Structure 1
Amino acid sequence: MNRNIDMERLRQDAADYFNGGYACSESVICAIRKNFDLDWPDDVIAMSSGFPWGLGDPGCICGALAGGTMCLGYFFGRRRPGDPKVQRCFRLTTELHDGFTARCGAPCCGKLIAGYDRDAPERKVKCTGFVEYAVTKTAEIILRELAADETEERPEA
């Protein structure tokens, strides 16, 4: 896994994926996979395909935010019932959500793109910004938390 992430490259990759045909959630996952050099199968991208347009169409959670949440779950989520580390994942997801909401204005796709036609170039530009923020904030959280884990694991001299 690569931890030397060029945030500008990451942001550009996410925008390129988004503007190249992937949806917002898929773009975040593709960019994280590529830049962290993760061995994720395409199935992971497929798992995120239902998030765009607010969970298929109802306008709920922004897909870029959902894609970031999936990535946080991969790194910090539980893999068995009762694992207390799920609390960390909840905390990090809340951090992503709150940062996204503060920066973008809302966590809900319907609110974020209200008044825009789906096919409008202006909507695509607006959503590209959401994708770029979500992927960057997600990567920042991952890198910070992995570094903190390494610090905790090192014995004191």
Structure 2
Amino acid sequence: MDREALAARALELHGCNCNCAQSVACSLAPFVGADEDVCFHAAEGFGAGMGGLTETCGALSGGIMILGFAMSNGIDEPTNKAATYRLVRQLLERFREQNGSTTCADLKGATTGTPLRSCNGCIEDALAITADLLEEHHLATCST
């Protein structure tokens, strides 16, 4: 995966009024065989920390969605949840270690007045960590 191109695409989407979740999910969709438009629609409500409530960072939600696409066996054989949850925990732990929190409010400094990370920075970090996990676990279905 060309990390610079991925980050540029995600930030371009964010600059065109996509939320953080959409920016991450749509940028990584081709690498897990997911439809970008489906990811766009599915991630609509996850922006600004889950519907604007500043809870879990939207960029992380987009990464979690991509890990689900990569790991799920589908509705007829839902047996991969435990493995998916392990990868999701790795994403969250790495992001928290790097940025100090996984909560939009904390990251934006809503309660302290001191932001930990910008939205663009969160997008870049969630994208990079998710891409790392896809590569580490040989889950990417294509590369460009």
Please classify the TM superposition score into its range, dividing by the shorter chain length: 0.7 to 0.9
Partner of 1:71: 66
Structure-2-length-normalised TM-score:
0.83
| Alpha-carbon distance in 2 for matches of 1:141, 1:41 | 20
Q: 2:68 touches 2:84 (CA, 8 Å); kept in 1?
A: yes
| Cross-structure match for 2:127 | 135
Measured in 2, the distance between the counterparts of 1:37 and 1:99 equals 21
Q: Is the 8 A contact 2:34 2:69 kept in 1?
A: no
Secondary structure of the equivalent of 1:146?
coil
The 3 A distance-change label for structure 1 pair 39 and 55 is closer
Counterparts of 1:1-157 in structure 2 under 5 Å? 5-34=1-30, 36=31, 38=33, 40-80=35-75, 83-115=78-110, 126-146=118-138
Q: CA deviation at 1:14?
A: 1.1
Runs in 1 of length 4+ with deviation above 3 angstroms?
80-84
The structure whose Rg is larger is: 1
Q: Does the 8 Å contact 1:51/1:63 carry over to 2?
A: yes
Q: Is the 8 A contact 1:78 1:86 kept in 2?
A: no
Unpaired segments of 5 or more residues in structure 1?
Answer: 117-122, 148-157
User: What whole-Å deviation, never above 9, does each CA across 1:112-135 have from its counterpart, x for those lacking one?
Assistant: 11249xxxxxx8x81100000101
Q: TM-score, normalised by structure 1?
A: 0.77
- Give the secondary structure class of the aligned counterpart of 1:55: coil
The alpha-carbon distance between structure 1 residues 102 and 27, as it changes in their structure 2 partners (threshold 3 A), is same
Matched positions, count: 135
Question: 1:138: how far off?
Answer: 0.6
CA distance in structure 1 between the aligned counterparts of 2:36 and 2:91, rounded to whole angstroms: 24
List runs of 5+ in structure 2 lacking aligned partners: 140-144
